[in-house]
Amino acid sequence: MKDHSNLDTATAVIHAGQHPDPTFGGVSMPIYQSSTFVFKDAAQGAARFAGREDGYIYTRIGNPTTKAFEDNIAYLEHGYGGLATATGMAALSTLLMALLDKDAHIIGTDAVYGPSRMLVEVFFAKFGVEYDYVDTSDLDAIKACIRPNTRVLFVETPANPTMSISDIRACAELAHEHGITFMVDNTFASPILQNPLDLGADIVYHSVTKFINGHSDICGGVIVPKTKELFDQIKKSLVYNGGTMDPHQSWLALRGVKSLALRVDKSQENAIKLAKYLEEHSKIAWVNYPGLPSHPQYELAKQQMRGPGSLLCFGLKGGFAAGEILINSMNLAALAVSLGGLESLIQHPASMTHAGVPREKREQAGITDDLVRISVGCESYEDQRADLEQALNKVD
């Protein structure tokens, strides 16, 4: 195996965790599309199950293609190891099953991806789990909810869809003072722009469906804990609940991640220009983008992120009625949920991704009816701006 230590991020996305196929020398990691692996004899089978010998057993427990992807992301996130999951939601449910006990309490960001919140409020609550979803950009709001049974602090930053930013370092210190495990959903930033483990988080996870894969052709998730102890605990939860990533999916994710640095750079460059264009437009009421000085946590974003990313949200002066005309009139940006792909996507969270969150909770979290979210893609900026301009021209 080649030495892949100390690679720059732009190199690591292409090489980390990947080694030429030992059988035929293929440069691209092969897809080990096999559900199970042969033991040479009974003693070897027993040794692998007992953990005395490395090697593969069964794809739900581990697979070479999936392992290459897991190693790649663990390298990018500076963690102990990676655990790839079927979807981002499978990553979250795996984590919650591993970390919460009956009657435990969890604190989360109020503006998280809707189903991430509803998973706790609808399902984990059935087993006695208690929760508080608060504005985690406000440390005092977190402090006020800490209880003796608080086990997990769960922050999404930047948050979906408001782009609100929480202070990862301060959250980690607060959580650790109280013996609480601190995890970060890093989907919006990707490992190119933010490494929560370096800022004190215990666990980072992603919806791979988004930037990491980047081609809007698979769903997936990945978890990277900081320590072996957490890794072993979460791996057990994943192997037992079975939400693992499939080998073909892992191969597509590996192929996608190779261009992650290039895609993040290009889409961010476009987003910075589009955010300024929108902020100056007479029909736009407000824009929330961490790269604009008007963003409430602009300075914090500069400290903990290597760039503001390519997601932004805004409201039109004409409210949702005007927003509806706008999103229906876009030619290039597709009216679709999801984000982080090569193509620009536009959507209305209150009636789409966050429709499952009751209106009162949604509004408290800043997910207002006029909020429109854009995931800026890698098309040419001129075409993106022209698309928005022709759509804005249709708004009264």
Residue 241 and residue 92 in contact, taking contact as beta carbons nearer than 8 Å: no
Compare residues 188 and 314 and give the one whose CB is closer to ligand PLP: 188
Alpha-carbon distance of 298 to 124, in angstroms, equals: 34
Residues lying near ligand PLP in the complex (CB under 6 A) are found at 87-89, 113, 116, 156, 160, 185, 187-188, 207, 209, 219, 221
Compare residues 65 and 87 and give the one whose CB is closer to ligand PLP: 87
Say what angle helices 228-241 and 88-99 make with each other, to 10 degrees.
110
Residue nearest to ligand PLP (CB): 88
Burial class (CB in 10 A: 0-12, 13-18, 19+), 331: exposed
**60 is an active site residue:** yes
How many Cα atoms occupy the beta-carbon half-sphere of 82 within 13 Å? 29
The catalytic position among 113, 131, 205, 289 is 113
Alpha-carbon distance of 316 to 371, in angstroms, equals: 8
Compare residues 90 and 292 and give the one whose CB is closer to ligand PLP: 90
Q: What b/e string do you get for 354-386 counting C-beta neighbours within 10 Å, with b at 16 or more?
A: beebeeebbeebbbbbbbbbbbbbbbebeebee
Shortest spacing between CB 160 and ligand PLP, in angstroms: 4
The catalytic position among 67, 210, 226, 362 is 210
Compare residues 71 and 185 and give the one whose CB is closer to ligand PLP: 185
Alpha-carbon distance of 176 to 320, in angstroms, equals: 42
Backbone angle region of 309, left / alpha / beta, with phi > 0 → left and psi within -120 to 50 → alpha: left
The catalytic position among 185, 202, 370, 387 is 185
> What Rg value do the Cα atoms of the chain yield, rounded?
21
**361 is an active site residue:** no
Shortest spacing between CB 43 and ligand PLP, in angstroms: 40
Alpha-carbon distance of 16 to 233, in angstroms, equals: 24
Compare residues 75 and 113 and give the one whose CB is closer to ligand PLP: 113
Residues 6+ apart with CB under 8 A from 300: 165, 167
Compare residues 150 and 347 and give the one whose CB is closer to ligand PLP: 347
Shortest spacing between CB 81 and ligand PLP, in angstroms: 20
Within 10 Å of residue 263's Cβ, how many Cβ atoms? 25
Shortest spacing between CB 356 and ligand PLP, in angstroms: 12
**113 is an active site residue:** yes
Shortest spacing between CB 157 and ligand PLP, in angstroms: 10
Task: Determine the residue type at 48.
Answer: R
The catalytic position among 21, 60, 198, 381 is 60
Shortest spacing between CB 208 and ligand PLP, in angstroms: 7
- Residues involved in catalysis: 60, 113, 185, 210
